[in-house]
Amino acid sequence: MDPLHSPLKAALWMGASIACFIVMSVAGRVATAELDVFQVMLIRSVIGFLMLLPLVLSVGGLRAMRTARPLQHVGRNLAHFAGQYAWLVALAMIPLAQLVAIEFTQPFWTALLAMLVLGERMTWRKVCALVFGIAGVLVIVQPGSGPIDPGHLVMLAGAVFFGISVVMVKLLTRTESVVRIIFWMLIIQTAMGLVPGIWVWRAPPVEIWPALLVVAFTGTYSHYCMARALVHAEATVVVPMDFLRMPLMALVGWAVYAEQLDIYTGIGALLILLGNLFTFRFRKRKTLPTETP
């Protein structure tokens, strides 16, 4: 038996990842209510890099962060930067339950892109998953019943960009460690956000700094916690745990923001969840099943 295998440790790491994501959602709303999204992203990357340094030092320091694939890191982070921007914009536009439900379509776009880019086989189960995911989005968005909420489209675009990012992460993990991938994510996204972040810069109010620090920490370590969970259990065990984000985000939206969960969001989220259940059994160990902000 694999000495690292421990469903309990996997559950604890995954619980930490989910907690990071939920806390980041609340802190992100606080921060983006006062500051431009580009400024929040820049601050998050800079502070996140400083917070990651102890972990970098523990695995060999900056020398261990050297990479022979800089262009792939840049491409991956262009997609992730766009997805992160869309997520933060949509965060202020739509209820949390709808945000996370639409975000959970990302595995479907990943499967589709993996077929086109990596040559992975599109099985009937993956086709069914894609159909369920699209149906879930249509139920939530309700096209034809009135003007479509732009926030839904923004988050849907973000999910597609996250899907592109995951495919590129799968390519990178053939030679790169998780810490190295996160290290270059923070370096490259700091560079990407420097010009737009400075362009819209204004001094953050003192009361906003705690939210910014929380966004930086949770945004950086949610990735690491999920990766650690995948060290201790198969993805078929870890991925279903991530589905807890849907009801928990809906609960936070209701408790903190008095957001009501309408029947259409509930049905759409259920369809997307069922679609994910078709795909998770195909995930391999030590891959990143989902991409987060």
Taking Cα atoms as reference points, which of 278, 183, 256 lies closest to residue 26?
Answer: 256
* Total count of residues recorded for the chain: 293
171 close to 110: Cβ distance less than 8 angstroms: no
Per-residue burial over 2-21, b = 16 or more CB atoms within 10 Å of its CB, e = otherwise = eeeeeeeebbebbebbbebb
Q: Which of 21-25, 49-53, 147-151, 213-217 has the lowest mean pLDDT?
A: 147-151
Domain that holds residue 141: 7-282
Name the residue with higher pLDDT: 24 or 232.
24
Q: What is the pLDDT of residues 272-288, one digit of tens each?
A: 888 877 765 544 444 44
Residue 260 lies in a domain: yes
Residue 1 lies in a domain: no
Q: Is the pLDDT of residue 162 over 50?
A: yes
Residue 290 lies in a domain: no
Residue 40 lies in a domain: yes
Give the per-residue pLDDT at 286.
43
Q: Can you read off the two tokens belonging to residue 29?
A: 């709303």
Name the residue with higher pLDDT: 106 or 58.
58
Angle between helix 106-117 and helix 124-141 axes, rounded to 10 deg = 140
Cα gap 222→272, rounded to integer Å: 22
Give the per-residue pLDDT at 29.
95
| Mean pLDDT (whole number) for 182-188 | 93
User: Which of the 8 DSSP states describes residue 280?
Assistant: G
| Mean pLDDT (whole number) for 75-92 | 94
Q: Is the pLDDT of residue 22 over 70?
A: yes
Residue 184 lies in a domain: yes
Residue 265 lies in a domain: yes
Which range of 130-139, 236-245, 272-281 scores highest in mean pLDDT? It is: 130-139
| Mean pLDDT (whole number) for 222-244 | 75
Q: Is the pLDDT of residue 132 over 80?
A: yes
Distance between alpha carbon 216 and the CA centroid of its chain, in Å?
14
Residue 187 lies in a domain: yes
Counting Cβ atoms within 10 Å, is residue 113 exposed (0-12), middle (13-18) or buried (19+)? Answer: buried
Give the per-residue pLDDT at 283.
45
| Mean pLDDT (whole number) for 205-222 | 93
Name the residue with higher pLDDT: 193 or 7.
193
Taking Cα atoms as reference points, which of 206, 86, 84 lies closest to residue 157?
Answer: 86
Q: Which of 77-91, 168-182, 201-215 has the lowest mean pLDDT?
A: 168-182
Residue 175 lies in a domain: yes
| CA dihedral (42, 223, 84, 79) positive or negative | positive
What total number of domains does the chain contain? 1
Q: Is the pLDDT of residue 167 over 90?
A: no
**Which percentage of the chain shows pLDDT scores above 90?**
44
| Mean pLDDT (whole number) for 8-34 | 92
Q: Is the pLDDT of residue 268 over 90?
A: no
The mean predicted confidence, pLDDT, of the chain is 85
Q: What is the widest separation between alpha-carbon atoms in the chain?
A: 56
| Mean pLDDT (whole number) for 20-28 | 94
